[in-house]
Amino acid sequence: MPVLSLPTYDITIGSLALAHRQWLLERRYAGIVVLTDENTHRHCWPLLAPWLEGMPVQQIVVPAGEAHKHLDTCRRIWDELLAAGAGRRWCMLNLGGGVIGDMGGFCASTYKRGMDFVQLPTTLLSQVDASVGGKLGIDYGGVKNSIGVFREPNAVWIDPAFLDSLSHRELRSGFAEILKHALIADAGQWATLKALPDLSAVRWGELIPGSVAIKKEVVLADFYETGPRKALNFGHTIGHAVESYRLDGAQPLLHGEAIAAGMVAEAWLSHRLAGLPEAELEEIATTLTGYFGHEPVPEEALPELLALMRQDKKNEADEINITFLGRIGEAIVNGRATEAEIAEAIRFYNQLG
């Protein structure tokens, strides 16, 4: 079982086992809360339940989806913790994707000034990205993750068996973050990933450790995202805005689908402003549209998208912060782009369809 160690916690990758149960027993928690959404309660809780037998377990089940990642759901979680008599000597197990991990960790970190929590990511996206790094929060005012904290979990347990219940679309969404990690830090891995013939034949358990290792090293270099960690933002300034814009529409995009579009647009900005070779821009655009298809952004949406980007947490001095690629495998943080340049980048993406 691969174990990636950080200074204050370990990330284990492999099947849930006696060691995970023993970890909980050794800490003698007064109670354990398992937070799930409706989907993970149905599909993933049965895999975890046998390892918690005989422990003082309470369950909290919330609605599934990004649309519920807000303060009202947090209030529900806090209310149920109070009703259960939970205290600071309890532990919350966040069994779900990025929404459950972000929101559950945020609620655990703020309830009675902080209780222990463990991330058990159940989607590919959360296993390779959201569960690692201690960024927790909720959406507010139509802006993703605009309320939150930095706080590390007490452990991260990644079991690839949870992926068995996911659709091809959900797995592909997580694959976007694996591609991003390669683009910002490992050109060799990018070459391997872009040559995959069919995602349905991928053994995800073989790709997860390498991708998590990249995320781990970036986080260790800059936990509070003051500099190098911003490399992980590649594709996200534009991608998050597209995701937020589509969230309330008839056909919302999954996170990875929006980030794939954002990576193409930000690769164009990288070519225009940071020297990314044109051949590598074409390679990125061809690979990402090949895997994710093409979701054009309406021209009339540009003002709203730019307004959302101006709300990005990493902006400084009223300038929009962009992570560029100097080359594939080489990120350049704290780049700047004008609104006109960003609009042109989105138009570049649109014309690919």
Contact indicator for 9, 153 with CB cutoff of 8 Å: yes
Catalytic-residue membership of 236 = yes
Alpha carbon distance 271, 190 (integer Å): 18
| From 255, 271, 280, 321, active-site residue | 255
Q: What are phi and psi of 100, to 5 degrees?
A: -65, -40
Catalytic residue of the set 28, 113, 168, 203 = 113
Asked if 177 is an active-site residue, the reply is yes
336 is catalytic: no
- Integer angstrom CA distances of residue 117 from 2, 69, 290: 21, 18, 38
| Annotated active-site residue in 80, 152, 170, 177 | 177
Rounded Cα–Cα distance for residues 142 and 331 (Å): 28
Exactly one of 225, 243, 266, 280 is catalytic; which is it?
225
Terminal Cα-to-Cα distance of the chain (whole angstroms): 43
* 135, 144, 194, 246: the active-site residue: 135
Q: Which residues contact 50 (CB under 8 A, 6 or more apart)?
A: none
70 is catalytic: no
Active-site position among 20, 180, 215, 230: 215
Our answer to whether residue 243 is catalytic in this structure is no
**Pairing relation of β-strands 320-327 and 330-337?**
antiparallel
**Active-site residue, selected from the candidate residues 20, 233, 266, 321:** 233
- Pick the catalytic residue from 144, 180, 181, 240: 240
Catalytic residue among 69, 172, 236, 246: 236
Is the alpha carbon torsion for 256, 262, 268, 274 positive or negative? negative
Determine whether 170 is an active site residue. no
**Residue of 194, 229, 246, 271 with catalytic role:** 229
Q: Determine the Cα–Cα distance for residues 117 and 107; give it in Å rounded to an integer.
A: 10
Active-site residue, 172 included: no
Q: Is 255 a catalytic residue?
A: yes
- Is 215 among the catalytic positions? yes
Residue 271 is among the residues annotated as catalytic for this protein:
no
Query: Which positions are annotated as active-site residues?
Result: 113, 135, 177, 215, 225, 229, 233, 236, 240, 255
